[in-house]
Chains A and B, each alone.
Chain A
Amino acid sequence: MNTATIAATSPDHQRPQTMIQVTKLNKWYGDFHVLKNIDFSVTKGERIVVCGPSGSGKSTLIRCLNRLEEHQQGDIVIEGVELTNSVKNIEKIRSDVGMVFQHFNLFPHMTILENLTLAPTLVRSMPLIEAQEQAMMYLQRVKIAEHAHKYPGQISGGQQQRVAIARSLCMNPKVMLFDEPTSALDPEMIKEVLDVMVELAQEGMTMVVVTHEMGFAKEVADRVIFMDGGEIVEENDPHNFFANAQVDRTQNFLSQILGH
């Protein structure tokens, strides 16, 4: 199949379509070289799990993807739009890339419903009624519609994180980034959030997930990436990644987190 001609005539039907393309990415915090020559790409509908010890640069990597962190060298292209200093490009990419944070970061002075309708009405100029209908639809999907008129401080951590996922979905993102979404949750609440994420994955959402939940990785990931010291040490499909890691550092890490 001649992908070049297809891409030229109808880019929407190009398969596999590249969603994220990162080339030779380098980033420093002062003198500290936090990301070293990262090359990585995500195709449409792919689910990637990024794991690694703390300080390995995994959070920094996905925060670069929507410019919460600025990179100094290399290219990041999201759905054909290059991430440069152009404010227009940055805002376009951010509105198409959803992000879920470790600490939920809901807006505490707004009701759950207002949290969900704010960005669609302001950024997408969606009429309020339509935004509210859409918000209720997503709240039902994350099974939290009955709390729509409460404030974030009045619901549990697991519920807040599900609201945060729904808030991102309201922007109809083309890709979702998850930055340790379950790390701040009580053990009893982790499952309700993971269930929502599994459901999302099954619906074909493109996802990049930084997490320590290896069960989630085994169940839904198409590819697992292991990072250490600002580099991608190893990437593989989950079966091979867990069964026969090729690098000693990966084996060492897996024995640490799976060993108990």
Chain B
Amino acid sequence: MSVTTQVGFRTFIPQPSMAPPLEVSGAAHWAKQNLFNGWISSLLTLLGVLLIVATVPRFLNWAVLDAIWSGDGEACRVDGVGACWAYVGANFRILMVGIYPVAEIWRPVISFVLMLAVIWLTVSGKVKGTRMLACWLILPFIAYWLIGGGSLGMPEVDQSRWGGLMLSLLLASVGIIISVPLGVMLALGRFSGSPVIKLLCVTFIEIVRGVPLITILFMASVMLPLFLPQGMDINNLLRIQVGMILFSSAYMAEVVRGGLQAMPAGQFEAAKALGLNYRHTMFYIIVPQAMRHVLPPMIGRCIALFKDTSLVLIVGLLDFLGMLKTSTQDSNWMGFEAESYVFGAFVYWLVCYSMSRYGQHLENSGPQNKH
């Protein structure tokens, strides 16, 4: 009993944090883990390599090394040469703006720059909230006025002369800009307390979703004029634009509905308890959060709408795809379909990939949606 341990108060000292154990790393280790992990994996890797060896060098030879970058159609018809990119250079204006008058090309260019400016203002956060919304909603009208003219001292350019990538981008961007708010309103209408509004919204959405886009475009282009009263004439392009907006808004509505349904009841209750009315609750609290939740499918719808604009070829508009097709029938440049469609695919991909990247940027920015 001579040794007594001292029992009682002890100060808590946290242990120091240690570095995690070293992972095995290096290229060889990575390759073994990812490419040769078992015999199935090794076989697939070998097959993949064979496929790449068989196709990529040939494509590169055609597209880059043996390609003709300048000159006329005859220079490209020599044996053994690759892709004729001179064709793209020679037809560039037609592909971009169609047969739009050369002297007026600054107008679509300015519209495009304006759109880039609004995108920049939005992405950089220079304008926010209501003012940002206003910028976006004014943009389609300014673009149609600039490109079409016919009022306020701007000389008119007939819509039969609009074409090329300009037309595709115009149809798609105006379609997106107007169908998103319209879709939000339709989605809110589906949740409306008024049975009449609810029925109207549901009927509209279900009818439009049950019909292929091409049908809507035909109806807008061919059938609508039959029903319009004598003397009333809405031009073809505008009818098709409206058709695309209606089509897109029905899909947007369903996307937004998913987001609205995912909103926790507590958000509605907190807004109500503060005395906010329905309009303010939706505009400031519910819709912004719901839109954030549905950003990935929404960007998907935007990309789909841009690609869908190529269908207007069928109702007689010469959009980007239409111009690609038409330009290969020019006697100077006959027989360069491959170049034409590869270039077309590249441009479509570029636009869609930009939208996709912007979507990812939006998803990753701003506050985390934790509750």
- Chain A contact residues, CB within 8 Å of chain B: 66-68, 87, 91-92, 94-99, 101, 103, 105-111, 118-119, 122-123, 151-154, 167-168, 171
Contacts and interface: CB of A to CB of B under 8 A. Distances in A.
A119 B368 contact: no
Contact of A153 (B267, B273, B276, B369): B369
B289 interface: yes
Interface residues of B, number: 23
Given A66-B273, A101-B266, A123-B275, A107 B370 contact: no
B275 A151 contact: no
A171 B270 contact: no
A123 B267 contact: no
Given A101-B266, A153-B368, A153-B370, A109 B288 contact: yes
A145 B86 CA distance: 64
B337 to A, nearest CB: 49
A68 B371 contact: no
A91 B266 contact: no
Nearest to B369: A108
A154 B368 CA distance: 8
Contacts of B353: none
Interface stretch (B73-81, B242-250, B252-260, B277-285): B277-285
Sorted nearest first, the 8 A-B pairs with minimum C-beta distance are A95-B275, A153-B370, A105-B270, A151-B367, A119-B274, A99-B273, A105-B266, A94-B275
Nearest to B279: A122
B269 interface: yes
Interface in B289-317: 289, 292
Contacts of A66: 272-273
Given A91-B277, A103-B266, A122-B280, A151 B368 contact: yes
A87 B276 CA distance: 11
B212 interface: no
Given A109-B367, A153-B368, A118 B273 contact: no
B16 interface: no
A68 B272 contact: yes
A176 B149 CA distance: 59
